[in-house]
Amino acid sequence: MKNKAKFIYDFNKLCQIIYRKKNNIIVFQTDIISSSISYKLNGQYVANKILLEIEKFFFSKTILFPAFSNDFVRKKYDIKLSKANTGIIPNIAISSGRYFRSESPLHSFLVKGKKLEEIKKLKQTTTWGQGSVFNWLYNNNALWVSLNLNLNRGCAIHHMAEEKAKVPYRFYKLFRGKLFNNGKYEKDVFEKKYSYYKKYYKKLNYDKWPSIMRHNRDFEKIIINKGLFANISTAKKIVDRSYIFYKKNPYGSINLKK
């Protein structure tokens, strides 16, 4: 019981710091492993508690969780049944039925809060382009919270800068498939994504671009302890700084050495 109480107390402390940033739109990209190990708690318990505490603490905000899925690559995507590859917390949120899942079959978000109706009206041209949730987050300068994740693993919106800068190791690819909702076929859909060429897959290295964020002090690292921390910055800063990085270094996230 002491471990549980300590974890909840510490997580609320983290939430208080984030809340004081006064952003009305907050994205949580999450991982629970370090917290589960550090506090010696079951992962399912940690994930459930984090989700519930976020919902309680930020009930007056609009909150989002990335819920990306690989299912559409296999030509079939289900809004309710396709698992997220972004961790246990988004999958608990999907199962809860308390969240709207945005339409992008490849890079959907789970959404709850006051701005939900705006997101429902979005019609994306590309995954990270005009009309996408990513672009909406950028235009509204949302706060991006990488919970228990460093920027190289927990900052998916930075890929928007790769498209803006037209990095040469990616190209526009059209994905087509069928959209289902809880097992029921709805329609044929497609998504246009600025995808990487297969030949670069094993050379991708996203450890370098955060250097420009550190240099300009454009993110804040909140450390409660080794098992509970967050890297936070606004969507606009992340994309704008990353864009500068990629314009100067078009192959900046590729290991070109043989």
Q: Domain-by-domain residue ranges, the chain? A: 2-248
- In 206-255, where does DSSP find H-type helix? 210-215, 235-248
Element (H, E) at 9: helix 2-19
Q: Tokens for 243, please give them.
A: 């864009």
- The strand order across the sheet containing 220-225 reads 100-101, 109-112, 62-66, 25-30, 143-147, 228-234, 220-225
**For the residues 142-157, what does the mean pLDDT come to?**
93
Q: Which residue has the tokens 């709805």?
A: 186
pLDDT tens track for 91-110? 999 999 999 999 899 999 99
Q: How far apart are CA 116 and CA 31, in angstroms?
A: 24
pLDDT tens track for 27-54? 999 999 999 999 999 999 999 999 999 9
Q: How far apart are CA 56 and CA 115, in angstroms?
A: 17
- The strand order across the sheet containing 170-181 reads 76-78, 170-181, 184-196
- Transcribe 25-92 into DSSP letters: EEEEEE--HHHHHHHT--HHHHHHHHHHHHHHHTTTSEEEEE---SGGGGTEEETTTSPPSS-HHHHH
Percentage of the chain lying above the pLDDT 90 cut? 89
Q: Tokens for 85, please give them.
A: 């590859």
Contact present, 231 and 18 (Cβ < 8 Å): no
**How would residue 218 be classed by pLDDT, with cut points 50, 70 and 90?**
confident
Percentage of the chain lying above the pLDDT 70 cut? 99
What is the model's pLDDT at position 159? 96
pLDDT tens track for 7-24? 999 999 999 999 999 899
What is the model's pLDDT at position 62? 98
For residue 56, the number of C-alpha atoms closer than 13 Å in the C-beta half-sphere is 11
Q: How far apart are CA 110 and CA 93, in angstroms?
A: 8
